[in-house]
Amino acid sequence: MNTPLEKMLSERPWILADGATGTNLFNMGLLSGDAPELWNEQHPERIRELYQMAVDAGSDLFLTNSFGGNASRLKLHDQAHRAFHLSKISAEIGRDVADKTERDIIVAGSVGPTGDIMQPVGPLSHSDAVEIFHEQAEGLKEGGADVLWLETISAPEEYRAAAEAFARADMAWCGTMSFDTAGRTMMGVTVSAFVELASGLPNPPLGFGANCGTGAADLLRTLQGLAAHTPAQALIAKGNAGIPKYVDGHIHYDGTPELMADYAVMARDSGATIIGGCCGTMPDHLSAMREALETRPSADKPSHQDITKALGAFSSETDGTEPGGAPPTRVRRGRRK
């Protein structure tokens, strides 16, 4: 129990994480195509509000506004040289919010994918990926993050590179993948392959699991697949607030607070210890999730029928665990919303 997160995991049956970054920032005025990480410097009061909203809604852990804060992603905005600095600011604001809160709050330094395809399929080498992740990790560490939080990863090569970078930074970490292609990641990783990957690293994460994807129901099916392997680490569930729909020129997620409350309890009963939301998850969703986790007693693992009845149908018949069969091709994911 050398880190605040390890201490909290030892003392709590569940931890409520935060919700969406992009959705909330868009509501504050962020424009599509803008880099949210620049707001750490341009609008620090809005980033402080983002973190505070999660804390006020009951989150025990929130992610910093640094998902796309690596040099590879920031080069799209001619800001690659500021990856360390922008990540550092995101953590500094978070540290201040957490330290001014009477209860224990974990500041998790968000690290998203590089946006590049790694060798041998793409151009990004392992060594370059490690350097990219290491620079951001050092910025988040300098800013006061308690733990690093890798998320929305699809390729095992990128997961390994980040793990090596985090070891170089001497930081504890958690890491999630996004299972959005018939129960697999976009690069074809299955649930069983992910358990083997996360458990077999020289510096394994404190917790691992799934985030984003296609909806809360699919994420719970993935979570149950992970839990079936009884990993030693804590399991993480950060599902989207329903399914995205295009309404009046904007992306809207149709998950209600009541739906996300059901999802949170089912995630706990399916084996998750760290439970939060991803795209579309707002403070009112988090408040409902917190209340449900505090007031609804633990129960048996929900069946797939229970899940679909409460949260809607699965997006595919398969959960990606069946042998053989290549998943359909999907467009590479962007940042979490």
Q: What is the pLDDT of residues 170-204, one digit of tens each?
A: 999 999 999 999 999 999 999 999 999 999 999 99
259, 310 Cβ separation under 8 angstroms: yes
pLDDT above 70 as % of the chain: 94
3-state secondary structure of 299: coil
In a domain, 67, yes or no: yes
pLDDT above 90 as % of the chain: 87
Domain that holds residue 88: 5-311
Residues 6+ apart with CB under 8 A from 301: 224, 227, 269, 270, 271
In a domain, 70, yes or no: yes
Query: What pLDDT, in 10s, does the model give residues 55-113?
Result: 999 999 999 999 999 999 999 999 999 999 999 999 999 999 999 999 999 999 999 99
Query: What pLDDT, in 10s, does the model give residues 215-270?
Result: 999 999 999 999 999 999 999 999 999 887 777 766 778 899 999 999 999 999 99
The pLDDT, as a whole number, for residue 327 is 41
On the question of pLDDT at 144 being above 50, the answer is yes
- C-beta atoms surrounding 232 within 10 Å: 7
In a domain, 16, yes or no: yes
The rounded mean pLDDT for the chain is: 93
CA gap 89, 177 in Å, rounded: 25
The pLDDT, as a whole number, for residue 247 is 73
3-state percent breakdown (helix, strand, coil) of the chain, nearest 5: 45, 15, 40
In a domain, 153, yes or no: yes
In a domain, 292, yes or no: yes
- The CATH number that applies at residue 257 is 3.20.20.330
Burial 173-208 (b: 16+ CB within 10 A, else e): bbbbbbbbbbbbbbbebbbebbbebbeebeebbbbb
Paired strand residues for 174: 149, 207
On the question of pLDDT at 326 being above 50, the answer is no
What is the total count of domains within the chain? 1
In a domain, 319, yes or no: no
In a domain, 321, yes or no: no
